[in-house]
Amino acid sequence: MRTGKKTALTLIIGAMLGFALSFGSGVLAQREPPRDSLPWDEARLLSEVLERVRQEYVEPLEDRDLIEGAVRGLVTELDPHSQFLDSNQYEEIRINSSGNYSGVGLEVSLDSDRVRVVAPIEGSPAALAGIRPGDQILSINNFDMSPANANKTVGLMRGKPGTEVHIRIARNSEAEPINFTLIRSHVQVNSVSANLLETDYGYVRISHFSDTTYADMRDALDELRHDNHGQLKGLLLDLRNNPGGVLDAAVDVSDAFLDSGTIVSASGRAVDASFRHEATEGDLVDGARMVVLVNKGSASASEIVAGALQDNNRALIAGVRTFGKGSVQTVIPLSSGRAIKLTTSLYFTPSGVSIHGEGISPDTRIEADKIADRQAGVNSHFTNKALALLQTDSQLQAAMNLLKEPRLLQSNAVH
C-alpha cells in the first residue's frame, strides 16, 4: 500500500451533491508567486473599470469588495471548477478534506427551501441528543433558517468545543417544534460504512474521499473479516453519489485492491501537474470478486477508482454512466487566509482515456427504476441492517446477484 503523502493535498470533485458536506475540488499546495512581469498595458482595462465603479456606482463600495469581486470573476470565467476562495471558503475546504471539525455533527441538505437533516454523525452531540434524519431545522441560535440565509447553516453549527448551540426543529411526528441545546465538540466525519451482506459477502460504501478514507476502509474490511470469521469471497464497493474529494485517498483505495498496473495519470503545465500513480503489491481482500456500483452522481475521485479497477480487470463496474469530470484542481493559498482553486491538470484512466464530459461506462448497466423486484438470496445470514438495504435498494440487489454468480460477471446488461 502507498503510505507516503505528497506535501500538496489534491482534491478532485464532480457534481456538487448535498448542502453541508459537499466538497470543493482542489489541491492544497504551496506555490511561489510567478516571476514574469504583469502585462500592464493589458491590465490597464481592469484598473480603469475598477476606478469608474469606485467613483460612479450608485452606492459606495469598499475597495476590498471591489478587488475580491474582480478576482472572483477572473477565476470563475476560466472553467466551472476554478474559483476564488475567501477565508471562510478556504477553511471549509481544509475542514472537509481533513474529515474532522468542531461542531454539533449534523449533515444537512436544502430541500424545497427547507433545511433538513440528512443524518446526525454517529457519536456526535446531535446524535446523542436525539436529532433524527428528516428533521427540519427551523432556527439556530434564534436565527431563522429562511431560504435567503439557509446557506449560513453550517457556519452557525460550527464553533469552539464546549460552546452552546440552540437548535429548533420541526418533526413530522410531533405537533410542536422541539428545542435542543447542544454542546459543540470535536466531530470525526467517517466517509466509510460497511456491512456483511451475507456470509462471505461484504458491502463497503464510500460517501466521499478524505484524508482518513483509506484507513477507515482498511479498518472496515478488518471488521468484515472478523464478523465473517475469515476472508471474504466477494466485495461490493458502493460509490454511488460520491462526488469526489482527496486524490491521494482515491489512489490509495484503488491500490488497496491492485497488485500492479497504472492507477491514474495526469497532464498539466506546472511542474507538479503531470504525474502517474502505479499500484504496489498487496490486495486487502486477497483477490476476492468485486463489483463497484456507480451512478451519474459518481464523479472525479470516484471515477478514478472505478476506472483503475475496470481497466486493470480487477472489478466489474455496475450501474449507470458516471458524471464525467476528468480535471484536477489545485488550491493555491493567497494572503489573508484566502486562496484560488485553479484547474491545473487533466487526468486519464489507465488505458489513457480522458473521461471528461463522457464519464465511465459500466460493464453491466443497472437502472435503478427498471429493476423488477428480485430477491438476492435473502436468508437468515443477513444482518438486519443489510437486510433493510437489500429490500429497499434494487440496484444493490442486482449487484449482489452479479457478485454471487460469477457467470453473470461476463454479462453486459441486467434487465
Q: How far is CA 348 from CA 77, 307, 310, 318, in A?
A: 24, 9, 13, 20
Copy the grid coordinates of residue 295: 451512478
The DSSP-derived string for 87-139 is: HHHHHHHHHHHHTEEEE--EEEEEETTEEEEEEEPTTSHHHHHT--TTPEEEE
Q: Is 255 a catalytic residue?
A: no
233 assigned to active site:
no
Alpha-carbon 242 to chain mean position: 5
Residue in 207, 210, 238, 325 annotated catalytic: 325
The reply to whether 404 belongs to the active site is: no
CA 18/CA 16 separation, integer angstroms: 7
CA distance 202 to 53: 61
Q: Is residue 81 within 8 Å of residue 343, measured between CB atoms?
A: yes
Out of 135, 248, 252, 311, the active site residue is 311
| 22, HSE (Cβ side, Cα atoms, 13 Å) | 17
What the block records as the C-alpha cell of 218 is 482498511
CA nearest neighbour of 256 among 291, 280, 220: 280
Rounded Cα–Cα distance for residues 198 and 142 (Å): 47
Integer CA distances (angstroms), 376 to 56, 129, 195, 232, 240, in order: 69, 36, 15, 17, 19
Catalytic residue among 300, 302, 327, 394: 300
Provide the annotated active-site residues.
300, 311, 325
